[in-house]
Amino acid sequence: MTPRDARYPFLAAAREAVTETGVDLGTLVATDEPAVDRGRERVERALLAGRVDSETSDEWRVEDELLSYPIARILVSLLDSPAAVEKYAAAEAKTAIERLKDDLEAAGSELRSTPDANLDRETLIAELGLDGAITPEADTPQPAAAPEWFWIEVGTYLDLATGLGDDWRLVNRELSDGQVRVDREELFRLLRAAIRRRVAEGLPFEGLDEDEGIAAELEAELTDLRRLLSERPAVGEIDFVARELFPPCIENLLQKAEEGVELEAVEGFTLMAFLTGIGMDADEIVAFCRESSLDPDGIRYQIEYLQADRGTQYPPPSCETLSTYGICHNEDDHWKVAGHPLAYYQHQLETTDQNLVDWREQAAVDSGK
């Protein structure tokens, strides 16, 4: 088992490493080993933040990290939600590509490169079964470690680029001799699609009975994950932005971000889910959070991730859940008013006697639109 197995757990070598540990996953779960906790974190991070790396990476041994992958796959299967599987696979792929970029950068700097932890592009391409379908451009002088241009077989290109948007349509690409020209960043995007597909293969697992065996042992972890994702308050559609009426939990998160502090995954998820829940779109949220630690790309990515099954949005967690995460302090006894930040905000809107202007209207006036 090498650190690379733990960093790229979807590779064949990592699967073999799991087998070689001789660890029985049922026993691992029954004895509540650290890998189980890390597996839960893996899924939680995937669903809330769109990535799977740990917020406390120093806490985990290589073995915990490696074994957390099969545990996470069982957990996400038990969530019984196609959107959760899709988000999980996309988050694994996103994290893997970020790691690959780091590794390629390290390859150019011998001081940082760690052979048994790092991966190279060729190995990944071969692992994904894309050997021979992707080649660096030979005609352009380019550094071997970081070629800028690649040619990819048109069939493979069409397969991987499906759903990526108009820019990826063949009519908008340079095509020659049955191959499509892509730059380095575009290749990363296509590899991400291939990894996402690899991770999603075989998910959700069939035949897991929630009341038996390993699934039953994971009940506490599942309850935690479901609580985070399925607490839909009974509120009608809200479409009004008045920061002065936001509940303290949300105002505190906004202020924290505006002080330049990085929000934790559950904090960022809560804030974005609240802002989308009151009717804001991605552009409005980016403008609203302009002076904060939240970067526009991260905001857009997270909002995309808030899409749950059947096109609905994930709401923020309930007051009770936010209190367990230390985000709610039940200021002014809010729980007596409503059990959910969106319900609380709706109540505030309905009972206020202030003459309020929607922030979006004011922003349009200020910008002269």
Q: What residues line the site for ligand SF4 (CB under 6 A)?
A: 247-249, 319, 322, 328, 330-331, 334-335, 341, 344
**CB nearer ligand SF4, residue 20 or residue 331:** 331
Residue 253 Cβ, how far from ligand SF4 at the closest point, in Å?
10
Residue 245 Cβ, how far from ligand SF4 at the closest point, in Å?
11
Element (H, E) at 152: strand 149-153
**CB nearer ligand SF4, residue 293 or residue 330:** 330
Q: List the end-to-end C-alpha distance of the chain, in Å, as a whole number.
A: 59
Residue 324 Cβ, how far from ligand SF4 at the closest point, in Å?
11
- Output the CA torsion sign for 12, 18, 20, 24: negative
**CB nearer ligand SF4, residue 113 or residue 323:** 323
Residue 350 Cβ, how far from ligand SF4 at the closest point, in Å?
15
**CB nearer ligand SF4, residue 60 or residue 246:** 246
**CB nearer ligand SF4, residue 128 or residue 319:** 319
Nearest to 224 by CA among 311, 301, 320: 320
Residue 317 Cβ, how far from ligand SF4 at the closest point, in Å?
8
Q: Residue 113: how many CB atoms within 10 A of its CB? A: 14
C-alpha 298: how far from its chain's center?
A: 10
CA-CA distances (angstroms) from residue 127 to 47, 67, 135, 218, 241?
26, 20, 15, 31, 48
Nearest to 70 by CA among 116, 39, 109, 24: 39
